[in-house]
Structure 1
Amino acid sequence: MALAERDLAVDVARGGALLGIALANVVAHVGAAAVGLGLYPDPASVTALDRLAAAVVVLTVDRTTLPVFALLLGWGLARVVATMRARHAPDAEVRRHVRRRCAALAALGVAHGVLLFDGDVLLLLGLTLLVALALVRASPRVLVWTGVTTWLAGALLLGGLDALLLADASAGAAAPATSGGEALAERAASFAASALVAPVHLTTVLPAALLGVWWARTGRLDSATPVGPARTRVVALVLALAAGAPMAAAVGGLWSPGPVGALVASSAQLLAAPVAAGTSVLLVVAAVRAGAVPRPAVTAAAALGARSLTVYLAQSALFLVLLTPPTGVLGSVGMAAGVVVGVGVAAATTALAVGLERAGVRGPAEWFLRRVAYGRGRHDRT
């Protein structure tokens, strides 16, 4: 899609989620003597300020930002498929085009996971896109049943995984790497292990992607379509975020859950995540189209959203340079300081996106994705 043809309000929603990603990923880069629920620092091993920072991150952005990307990925997939078919493209060409996008996302994900950050989500999103392609023309009944089934299964599976990891965390955090080669090997091994459980994580993002497919079919985010009462959306968002309160209380040190408590707290947050994602997207889109968001904020967030791949990779590169052992120039920091660094990373990458927007060019990762999907001749500056 050419830059001039993009949906401004949707790009703003995607850009806002990308800022949340910078804060949600902080936990993977901070130092901790031991880890607790959700791989956050064990509350008993950190300061009160660190516990507060962890609780705020869990309550506001953790596990809600990735479903936003999945939702908009499904929405974009359905729109691309509909556009290509409206131009009488054969089904084989449509499938080939989307599969190339999946391959490009997977390639970026592997490189990102090995070289920069083992908590990569691009490989997972590529897999999600591939599964959503198989369902993009499914009946509403199939979409609903698939979405609900994976939604429930994902909450239980990942909640159970959190409970198991909590039980295994008693030995404490692993010692940081002491050389670049050791860090690279550890990152590659950790990423490979994460890739093996990608089907489990798929169940937590596929429901949001299928919701996006349905929204594209029904024109839910079209500029001429009302997105519903604002009061209802606000109440739904508050309730969805409140479902993360038990998890936030646990990482904040207000209670110490056992395996069953960890399962319940984690599953409750995961069940609410697609609701939080959907309502937040609707709120942002409605606010932007109503002119309720200051123009500079719209411009910056839209620039982020249009270059989300590049910015996501740039965030990881900055975290690697600043915080990740053994090269992190700031050394080991706690959760509160990590959040401050995360804000700085978000600001720096926003400046990068705005600079690219003013120059009228895509990000390098977007160029690569377009080059793989379309081939030569359609990966230009527009």
Structure 2
Amino acid sequence: MGRKIILTEEQEKIVKDSYLSGMSCNQILKNTGFGRDAIKRCLVDAGIYNPDKTRYRKYSDEDIEYIKKYYQIGDWDSIFKKYPFMNKQNVYDMAKKRGFSADFYFWRKEDELIIKENMYSKTFEEISDLIDNRKSSSQVKQKAFKLGYRNDDSWTEEEINILKKNYSLIPMIEIMKLLPRHKTKDCIQMKASQLNLKSYYSLNCMWTDDEKDFIKNNWKFMSDIELADKLKRSQRNVKYQRERLGLFRSDPFGEINNRLNDYLRRRSYTWRKNSINACNNKCVLTGSEKFDVHHIYPVNQIISDILYELNLENKNLDEYTSKELEIIVTKFNEKQNKYLGVCVRQDIHNLFHSIYGDIATKDQWEQFVIDFKNDKFVDYIAA
């Protein structure tokens, strides 16, 4: 048998003070090394510990009333400020043992009335403040929707007029400030669609037939810089629109057969899966779980490289032999998997290509990311 450890008065004081401050016997053992039996014997002799009963004997009646008061309204901060050694499980156990009611779990009638009266004039965060933050803003939102107070199912005549007057003139972020009752972009966009309104984004980024005809009639005689100057557009946007019209200059990748491109893209499952896994299944810029997978290394360039390496011509898909297609697919997958893609939300992906065109480089993507993080495109992606 091991030697019985006898604690000094000073050591006993350390044990009792530690226990009363919220430490468990195991924590005291770890901190002091006094021995488990010696620690328990000290606490039992002091009358503040009984291994067969609840530990809450160490709390005075005043302590228990204080914890009960703030637990009932869900004010954890007040509890933990006074009893920093406690955690929520400690409080739950005490409440269960002593029959505390947990009012903060339930919605009061007055809370529901506050939501009803303020749903269309205040934010969910402000409503949460009105009920003493016993419910988070997300909980307030869920409760409001369950009660049928949707912020997208009722439009006043004044709100509709505001939308009609401004939807085409200012970015979505400003529209949302004018319509605080309708708290989401989706809600506003849905109403605008019903009214056949064109957004600020679409009017500033889409091209008219006259502009397209101007490019078609002049691209052979004018540079993209000159076209941009005449059309009051950026050079990048002009280049993108020109290529969208099938008007390529000396682009070595512009003539790649689209059917071959599509044929190979449909066989990119492994590359797509690995790219998504590398991005943790979310947009790298916004965290959205709805995204496209963007090629950092352009597909057309990969195809062009392969055809050059295999000494094959760029021709119609049905002109390749089955053996040639088999080799092309194998080479394509090998080369593509060296350059994993990035997950990016569809509207942002479209914006990127509207700026840099379909055949964009890795450097252009990196510059786009920098510009995005500096809020350069905030007016465009808000719509």
TM range (shorter): under 0.3
TM-score by length of 1: 0.22
Structure with more of its chain in helix, by fraction:
1
TM-score by length of 2: 0.22
Q: Which has the higher contact order (CA 8 A, sep 6+)?
A: 1
